[in-house]
Chain A
Amino acid sequence: MIRWLQDNMPKIVLAPSFIAVMVFVYGFIAWTAWVSLTRSRLMPRYEFDSLIQYERLADSPRFETAMVNLAIFGTLFIVIAMALGLLLAILLDQKIRTEGAIRTIYLYPMALSMIVTGTAWKWILNPELGIEATVKGWGFANFEFNWLVDPDMAIYTVVLAAVWQSSGFVMALFLAGLRSVDEEIIKAAQVDGIPTWRVYSAIIIPSMAPIFLSAFIVLAHLAIKAFDLVIALTGGGPGYATDLPATYMYAMAFSRGDIGQAASSAMVMMLVVFTIVVPYLYSELRTKND
């Protein structure tokens, strides 16, 4: 018995986590998938029905707005955060004496809760008392900056706040990447008289392809999960102009009492994550096992 225990101890230690993952991750996904195929409303029902919930999603203008917003927000957020992160990393890579301090300043927003970030930016972008009032106070009486309450522009305030929060992290990733490029190659290129910008564009940046991929995955993941930020910054408004699938799901689950819609929109989110993350994880795990 003791011998058996000793031999199987690794499995025994892993067992609770294994069960937890199977139940609370995969079991729950299966539950949500199943319920998304029923006519559940206030209470979950388990009789399989049809794709009715997905048809309702397709017909819902609110969910359409949420998906369009996810596309706008996701694209802009990822592109801007990556570009800014790369720029900052390259600037910081020029043997800056105060690098440590500057890096700390660029990265601290990542330590904040998105609720804090949203609260701060909501105040800064407040049309009556924020930037607009400040610039007006400087004498520009006609200055207008009311994106936060403009249904067409509000989603861009979410992009702004999200970029502010996450670009420092991308910088940290890229900076680590820049530092890992072989110094000798760079020196050789410089001796050959290749201008610095060419060294970056032709040698250093191409060699960082895996880091671009990592940054993309992390940012895409943040974008799909962005929920807190919208809640704190715009509350999904004005109207539902800044709804994302995540806030739509939450509204359906906890305030509208429409479990079928909540489950099906969650599955759509799952699908989006799946198509991005699975190829990445697959290639990561494969190269590791080789």
Chain B
Amino acid sequence: MTDRPYAQTRTQSPTTKLVLRFILYILLGVFALFYLMPLFVMITTSLKSLDEIRTGDLISLPREITFDAWRTAWSGACTGIQCEGVRPYFLNSLLIAIPAVLISTIIGALNGYVVAQWKFKGANIFFALLLFGCFIPFQVVLLPMAIVLGKLGISGTITGLIFVHVIYGIGFTTLFFRNYYVSIPSELTKAAMIDGAGFFRIFWSIFLPLSLPIIVVSVIWQFTQIWNDFLFGVSFSQAGTQPVTVALNNIVNSTTGVKEYNVDMAAAIIAALPTLLVYVVAGKYFIRGLTAGSVKG
């Protein structure tokens, strides 16, 4: 090492460097096109008339922009026998997602607080059981859940779907909060206890004020999961309570009348807008949620 201090330091000529940089940016650009192409096609198709779709090609810009397809998708497209567009189902998704996100996040915060800070015998086993529950294929719980929802009298209702999403959401929300709270020194809790603060008081005055970032992660994760859910939605809803993903699938596969591709695309964009918006506004937290489940500790 010492006898050849700089001998092998590779120095690329400026031209080579420039060419490599150029290739690098070309590659990055090609991949960017690959990821953007479907979105581009969806948007342009949704703005074309059916005639233009039949005669034009996939990637051409619309000759004449029309918002008819969007209007139909929102309030006129048929999901089977009903022709009310995606609007009622969009509302259903909101009615399902908002309470389910809030409830599962609150439960997750309390659970995470207990598992991370109030260790008692069995708390770790509980956490392991919960964690494994995050990974089960939901097919394995579909049938008994259908029966239980029936017994509870909430099958096919919005309430039923909220219930299901809360139950199978607390695994992840607990994981988020547990991993976040575990890094807060337990001396803090102990000191507060000596000062006479109780379980909830410590949570409320010490932990909650520190929790904003992880609350955002949890809310975004749960919202994306629940909004994008299809399996529970299609299994446990009935006509009138379906979430937007189910309605979209019904519109696309509706066999009545002419196939309106522009309407399909407009409906797909409408169904995607809320989660896309969340991603654009809070992408950083979205990524944190995605990686929190896999890169732990």
Contacts and interface: CB of A to CB of B under 8 A. Distances in A.
Interface in B214-264: 224, 227-231, 235, 245, 248-249, 252-253, 261, 264
Given A119-B252, A259-B143, A29 B123 contact: no
B294 A14 contact: no
A134 B58 contact: yes
Given A106-B35, A176-B291, A32 B143 contact: yes
A27 B293 CA distance: 24
Nearest to B227: A113
Contact of B294 (A112, A217, A224, A253): A217
Contact of A26 (B58, B129, B137, B290): B129
Interface in A162-213: 164, 168-169, 172-173, 176, 190-193, 195, 210-211
Given A9-B199, A193-B10, A253-B142, A110 B290 contact: yes
A111 B59 contact: no
A116 B25 CA distance: 29
A218 B293 contact: yes
A76 interface: no
Given A25-B136, A116-B271, A288-B297, A32 B170 contact: no
B38 A120 contact: yes
B228 A281 contact: no
Nearest to B275: A111
B19 interface: no
A222 to B, nearest CB: 11
B136 A111 contact: no
Interface in A234-290: 235, 245-246, 249-250, 253-254, 259, 262-263, 265-267, 269-270, 273, 277-278, 281, 284-285, 288-289
Contacts of A191: 9
A133 B56 CA distance: 9
Contacts of A137: 57
A84 to B, nearest CB: 8
B30 to A, nearest CB: 11
A94 B24 contact: yes
Interface in A14-71: 14, 16-18, 20-22, 24-29, 31-32, 35, 44
Nearest to B124: A289
A227 B231 contact: yes
B38 A107 contact: no
Contact of B199 (A6, A16, A112): A6
A232 B41 contact: no
A20 B104 CA distance: 12
Given A91-B28, A228-B245, A11 B253 contact: no
Given A6-B199, A94-B24, A108-B279, A116 B268 contact: yes
Given A29-B141, A115-B248, A116-B272, A176 B42 contact: no
B252 A122 contact: yes
B276 A111 contact: yes
Contact of B143 (A107, A129, A138, A253): A253
Given A113-B245, A193-B10, A105 B32 contact: yes
Given A17-B130, A29-B136, A105-B32, A44 B147 contact: yes
B145 A173 contact: no
Interface of B: 1, 7-10, 24-25, 27-28, 31-32, 34-39, 41-42, 45, 53-54, 57-59, 107, 110-111, 114-115, 118, 120, 123-124, 126, 128-133, 135-145, 147-148, 167-168, 170-171, 174, 198-200, 224, 227-231, 235, 245, 248-249, 252-253, 261, 264-265, 268-269, 271-272, 275-276, 278-280, 283, 286-287, 290-291, 293-297
11 contacts: A10-B118, A14-B111, A26-B129, A109-B35, A113-B228, A119-B249, A120-B265, A134-B59, A137-B57, A168-B35, A228-B230
- The 7 residue pairs across chains A and B that have the minimum distance between CB atoms: A193-B8, A113-B228, A10-B118, A111-B279, A134-B57, A9-B199, A228-B230
Interface of A: 6, 9-11, 13-14, 16-18, 20-22, 24-29, 31-32, 35, 44, 88, 91-92, 94, 96, 102, 104-117, 119-124, 126, 129-131, 133-134, 137-138, 164, 168-169, 172-173, 176, 190-193, 195, 210-211, 214-215, 217-218, 221, 224-225, 227-228, 231-232, 235, 245-246, 249-250, 253-254, 259, 262-263, 265-267, 269-270, 273, 277-278, 281, 284-285, 288-289
